[in-house]
Amino acid sequence: MGRSLHTFEFGELKKALSTETAFLLRIGDGNKIAVSWWVSAKRTRSYPYARVYDSLGYSGRKATIIPIVKDEGKNGDRDFLQWDTVSLMSLLGVYVIISYYKEASKSHRYENKITNQRYNVSHIKEEVTKLLSYQSDALHWNLSQLEKAGEIAQMALDAYSELASKLRVEMHSSEAARRRIKSLLKGKEAFIGMSRELARRAQTRESVTEQPKEKLRGTKGTITITNYLGGKYFFTSDEVELHGNDLHLIEGKHTNTNKLPSVDDMKDGLLRMILLTNLEDARINGDIYKPFPVLKLTTGSGFRAESMNRAQRGILEDLMKESETNNFSVSLNSRYL
């Protein structure tokens, strides 16, 4: 399901970031890395998982750029980087470059909102250069990035302060942000601890109250993944169904239209499938079950499979090949394909 990536020279990084969501970056003779970038630190905006997914087909090193904070101004949103985002990238073997926005334009629609935010390219180039000579794995690189999280967050706030003055826009109050930065400056352990607690709260908000086993079907479920290092990662499953000893962990992608969900929606789901297909076992109240990952696609009531055009059929065929290769199932409007 991945797309072909265009190659840019190192000096074209700014152009690449303004034209492509994922690309290959060539540095010097023979050095290439696959790069994706996030619009916001929050995973629910602009399909960052789909961007990362597009880079995963490259056999070499893969990196993704994430802003430590994105502030759209008082009339917009403000999102902070979370530990669970970094940990997910570590599990996928993707090197995270934590950076920040330095340029932006004033919104024409809202008085206190900025748009068209652009990264500090010089900072990213410095980190890419360091990454080229880095010998260890993504997990250790990402932990070293977290060591600098407080410093980068301070640079981000300074940049937003300059933009507020330059564009005459009121930003969100800096007090809450500075409290977070104060915690970040204590190092990665403080950052990990604070973000894990926020992730745990988010996991609780997204899930429903735990049900008896016989009523698991169709409910949301919390998933706590423990890796071989003993680290714990908190996620949710859109639906959980129990079929004998098989525990169906379902990631749902829905559209109200009479077409398939978007390709980016599917790629978002596929990134979750990478996690779920690599689980050794699953436990509910100590009992062991076999995890059975499912990507569930649902559409508007007017959808008819026989009415799909050639492009839609091609997308489904690619999705089925991917599911067969990687041992997960796909359902379309409650029918397994």
- Is 70 in contact with 179 (CB distance < 8 Å)? no
Q: What is the pLDDT of residue 70?
A: 95
- Ranges of residues in the chain with a pLDDT under 50 are 208-217
How much is the pLDDT for 29? 80
Q: What pLDDT score does 210 carry? A: 42
Q: What is the pLDDT of residue 214?
A: 34
Evaluate whether 77 touches 64 at the Cβ level (below 8 Å): no
Q: What's the pLDDT at 213? A: 36
pLDDT score for 61: 96
Q: Under 8 Å CB-to-CB from 295, ≥6 apart: which residues?
A: 250, 251, 253, 266, 269, 270, 273, 319, 323, 328, 329, 330, 331
**Which pLDDT score is estimated for 106?**
95
- Sign for the CA dihedral angle at 329, 46, 262, 21 comes to negative
**183, burial (CB in 10 Å: exposed 0-12, middle 13-18, buried 19+):** middle
Do residues 36 and 54 make contact, with C-beta atoms less than 8 angstroms apart? yes
Q: Which domains does the chain have, with CATH numbers?
A: 7-201 (no CATH), 210-336 (3.40.1350)
CA 242 to each of CA 215, 216, 235, 288, 290: distance values in angstroms, whole numbers, following the listed order = 8, 6, 18, 12, 10
Provide the β-strand partners of residue 80. 69
Closest CA to 248 of 292, 284, 212, 297: 292
Q: Which amino acid is at 259?
A: K
Which pLDDT does position 231 carry in this prediction? 67
pLDDT score of 118: 97
The reported pLDDT for the residue numbered 211 is 39
